[in-house]
Structure 1
């Protein structure tokens, strides 16, 4: 039996559809390849993507002191009254020392029962023998030269528990920008090194992206209240800020 070739068996509409699809695929392929002046298509330029890191250090200029007044009492009202008197005395001392009210903030408050010791008789029922009031205060000291004296004042006024001291920096943005500049410089230097080793050179910068920025560990100072004196040594140390960027360059073959 005689058969026509498959191409001849296709209907006219089918042949038109196939031709259209072929033209579309060819046009898409050409569109993805840059054109040269002579009409030929040139390959996409080679790229290099590289990351850089930058850091900046700065000295803290403020501190936040976290303290508490813990007061026992035979009953809750008695413990609360005693605690309030102690905390009020602390606040007044701090204001008299020149601290602003905006730098004083309550950081926690609780009233809890105190129970009789049952170590000798674990099966004995719980027995409340009094109450304990805990009232916390956060104190921001904006002049670090006064921090040692503030510690002495709060202890003398009745603070009997110390949460710690965290050091802070008032203006971080300028130092963070320095870290960003250093990160860009680091990334570019790496890209130039790789390009030179590969026998090419850097072309135009086509992408820059910040991967994140932040600070290193914040120095922390802790001490027992019994050790607090006017000459308490306090070291603020330094804070480290870091930035990370990614750059992408075209590579040019000489």
Structure 2
């Protein structure tokens, strides 16, 4: 809070929670073989199984994206190549958040030991209303601070001169949580998403 001869500048803060309604799965399949070609072929087969399982679970192909592919040598103790490992990475989004844990189980059964779960993100697909509420609450917080400062200074607040949105380390946080695979369906807890807002507001003095 900073009163000046020409007015007062304060920073208002607010946090609003909203329900999570989307899950983004960061998945991968990984296979090893003596040759790079065989490792790649095996990983491709595992990838087909993964995509088929996602499709059977109701996830549209348009919501599944290949985000990476690699084939690397495996090195033994004597710094000699002992085989190769192939990895394909995918990102899939589902709005069936209640069944996300069950989906992970289905993938585990179908793909087997080739499945890798790199991360699971729970988020709000449309946080705009919560963002607006957070900004309104942040402005109200700024106004309360400014009014308190004005009383302490024996002054009256005039018009708002400027409003600046700050990235509250900041700014609205759309992905409120990040968690690893949850196993059993009833162990998957989506929770809520926290939306943060910070506004720097400057008022002129009225007198």
What TM-score, normalized to structure 2?
Answer: 0.86
State which of 145, 168, 175 in structure 1 corresponds to 2:98.
145
User: 3-state SS of the aligned residue for 2:65?
Assistant: strand
Structure 1: distance between partners of 2:41 and 2:160: 68
Residue aligning to 2:197? 243
**CA displacement at 1:217 relative to structure 2:** 6.7
Structure 2: distance between partners of 1:49 and 1:206: 9
Relative distance call for 1:150 and 1:47 in structure 2 (3 A) is: same
1:101 pairs with 2:54: no
Q: Do 1:211 and 1:243's aligned partners in 2 also have CA atoms closer than 8 Å?
A: yes
Q: Across the two proteins, how many residue pairs are aligned to each other?
A: 198
Residue aligning to 2:155? 200
Residue aligning to 1:85? 45
**CA displacement at 1:180 relative to structure 2:** 0.9
State which of 102, 109, 112 in structure 1 corresponds to 2:72.
112
**5+ long unaligned stretches in structure 2:** none
Structure 2: distance between partners of 1:166 and 1:157: 22
Relative distance call for 1:77 and 1:201 in structure 2 (3 A) is: same
Larger RCO: Structure 1 or Structure 2 (Cα < 8 Å, ≥ 6 residues apart)?
2
Structure 1: distance between partners of 2:45 and 2:6: 74
State which of 150, 163, 180 in structure 2 corresponds to 1:222.
180
Q: Do 1:216 and 1:242's aligned partners in 2 also have CA atoms closer than 8 Å?
A: no
Relative distance call for 1:251 and 1:160 in structure 2 (3 A) is: same
Relative distance call for 1:172 and 1:63 in structure 2 (3 A) is: same
Structure 2: distance between partners of 1:95 and 1:251: 62
**CA displacement at 1:69 relative to structure 2:** 1.1
Relative distance call for 1:83 and 1:195 in structure 2 (3 A) is: same
Relative distance call for 1:188 and 1:85 in structure 2 (3 A) is: same
**5+ long unaligned stretches in structure 1:** 1-44, 119-125
Larger radius of gyration: 1
Q: Do 1:61 and 1:168's aligned partners in 2 also have CA atoms closer than 8 Å?
A: yes
Q: Do 2:121 and 2:175's aligned partners in 1 also have CA atoms closer than 8 Å?
A: no
**CA deviation digits over 1:19-47, x for unaligned, max 9?**
xxxxxxxxxxxxxxxxxxxxxxxxxx742
| Alignment RMSD (CA, Å) | 2.1
**CA deviation digits over 1:86-120, x for unaligned, max 9?**
110111111111110011111221111223333xx
Q: Do 1:116 and 1:127's aligned partners in 2 also have CA atoms closer than 8 Å?
A: yes
**Greater share of residues in strand:** 2
